[in-house]
Amino acid sequence: MKTKPAAAIIFLVFLTAFLFLQDCARYERAALVPRTAPICFGLHVLVENRAAADDLLRGIPELAKLGLDLLFVEIDYNYEYVSHPELRGDDPITRETVKKMVALCRELKIRLIPEFQSLGHQSWEKKTFPLLIRYPQFDETPGQYPQNQDIYCRSWCPLHPDLNPIIFQLYDELIEAFEADALHVGMDEVFLIGSEYCPRCKGKNPAELFAQSVNDIYDHLVRAKGVEMFMWGDRLIDGATTGYGEWEGSMNRTSPAVDLIPKDIIICDWHYEKMKSYPSVPMFLDKGFRVLPTSFKEVKGVKKLIDYSLTFSSERMLGHLCTIWRAPKSGEARNPALLAAAKKIQSFRVSR
């Protein structure tokens, strides 16, 4: 009986050593290719109306002085679409305004990429966005949740045969107007998938459904249009094993999709709080993805995520992305989180 505690201690020592060596091996695999390319420093903003677009135009020069060289402008339905004018938002941004953004960003050497939130985020609070208003047959939960009560956001059905031709036309218009070489397709926080209320998705594997949506979009953007594809990474992360939970990771069985999609998609891996480590960063690198870690407004979290992610010297570690999840305001270049990130990135660039 006296030997059992000793045996248990020995077992725990060997288990700890084994897990440590596994982490080391993962780190080494993720950092196999030394970095030679410069890292990027990006910002993600929402532009939901003409006033917000004007604010962004005024703020871009000051943001460029921080070293910003990548700008994601989330447009969604808030553009003056020609192919489907019925899907325009209430105060859509004009083509003329977009062309001003393009010219200004080109002058300042900022890569400008539009974003269109896909699959999820088809509503916010009580407001349902134009697609599911004009085409309610595309709703993953048709006829359910009046005024969007008891849900986070609506989703579109990834299996509806008439959906993609419409959505892809919107993508194409944004790519053309922004003269973009990439599109960010969103796909974060998708909670409604494989719903019992959807006649096509009911009973199907959520990971396979999510992967099909990603792959359909990839085929159009990358294979047909020849542009790069960015997406948020949370639905590809196991929220339980990583400890991230249901927001920064998935608890609704979509995470196995990470092994069912092309590895040349660029993953924006968002984490907003200070943590000891961010296990999804080496996970994505190890699987062959390019990764753009993304932070929000907590300064300590911004600094920690940058310090952690830039220890991986892989070419596939692209740099850092900040988000403000709104339109930029006057003086945005003095945003504490943005300033903290800019200083970290500049210091890293100088050291290399």
Domain ranges in the chain are 31-351
* Between residues 67 and 36, the one the model is more confident about: 67
The CA angle 248-253-257, to the nearest 5 degrees, is 85
Average pLDDT over every residue of 137-157:
97
CATH class of the 31-351 domain in this structure: alpha beta
Cβ distance 210 to 152 under 8 Å? no
**Mean residue pLDDT across the chain:** 92
Task: Judge residue 4's burial from the number of C-beta atoms within 10 Å of its C-beta, 0-12 exposed, 13-18 middle, 19 or more buried.
Answer: exposed
DSSP classification of residue 113? E
Q: Which helix (H) or strand (E) holds 184?
A: strand 182-186
User: What is residue 33's predicted lDDT score, i.e. its pLDDT?
Assistant: 47
Q: Which helix (H) or strand (E) holds 4?
A: helix 3-30
Quick one: average pLDDT of 291-311?
A: 98
pLDDT value of position 28:
40
**Is the per-residue pLDDT at 16 higher than 80?**
no
- How deeply is 202 buried, as exposed, middle or buried, from its count of CB atoms within 10 A (0-12, 13-18, 19+)? exposed
pLDDT band (50, 70, 90) for residue 352: confident
Q: What is the pLDDT at residue 38?
A: 83
Q: Which amino acid is at 349?
A: R
Q: Indicate the SS3 state at residue 268.
A: strand
Kindly tell me if the per-residue pLDDT of 29 is higher than 80: no
pLDDT at 36: 56
Which tens digit of pLDDT belongs to each residue from 67-93? 999 999 999 999 999 999 999 999 999
CA dist 134 → 85, 186, 190, 344 (Å) = 11, 21, 21, 45
pTM summary value: 0.90
Task: Look at residue 351 in the predicted model and tell me its pLDDT.
Answer: 87
pLDDT tier at 4, thresholds 50, 70, 90: very low
CA of 300: how far to CAs of 222, 305, 344, in Å?
Answer: 36, 9, 12
C-alpha triplet 179, 181, 184: angle, nearest 5°: 105
